[in-house]
Structure 1
Amino acid sequence: MRPLPRGHRLAVILWLVIGLLVWNGVYDLILGKGLKEYLFRAALHEAGRGPAITIESVMDAWRLYAVWVATLWASIIVLAGMVTIKLAGRREEAENVERRT
């Protein structure tokens, strides 16, 4: 296995950074929904319409869900980026072979 050219290494780093940003964004969005649910349930309790709850009881399930969904989306993005880099490398190799002949 030969090392990747400089441009491909930079593309790999870029796709990994994009994947990290996607993971962070999706995780934050889902945790925000969990926080809204907690605040809604706490308001119901304050109004005498629901049981007492703790933030841990609500957010634990949302945290696990957020990790799974964020990891899924980030993995899809990074995988798409790696496939793109691989296909671009094959195309460049084919063009180099054509030039030599």
Structure 2
Amino acid sequence: MIELTERAQDAVKSAISAAAQPVRGLRLMIEAGGCSGFKYTMGLADEPKPDETVIERGGIKVFVDNNSQEHLAGTTIDFVVALEGSGFTFNNPNAKSSCSCGKSFS
């Protein structure tokens, strides 16, 4: 199960409302890469792909490709504002290690 904190929900809803094209949800997936082996990829999407599962969190449809689900199970996504910059953070119980930027893991 993937969770979005209230701050993450607000950030996604704000991005959806500001999008120039129609948006129906948030695409979330894991890809090979990053400095730790895997990296998180997020983006606004108009519709789910055939190999994606749709979950709803706080009124937001989240499209998760089937290959990424096992890596994301139990993950909580937050949105933080800090002096170093603002962005999404991932608290992933499946990660054995992560890089200092928090955008990739192994």
Q: TM-score of the superposition, structure 2-length normalised?
A: 0.23
**Greater gyration radius:** 1
The structure richer in helix per residue is 1
Structure showing greater relative contact order (alpha-carbon pairs closer than 8 Å, 6 or more residues apart): 1
The structure richer in strand per residue is 2
Q: TM-score of the superposition, structure 1-length normalised?
A: 0.24
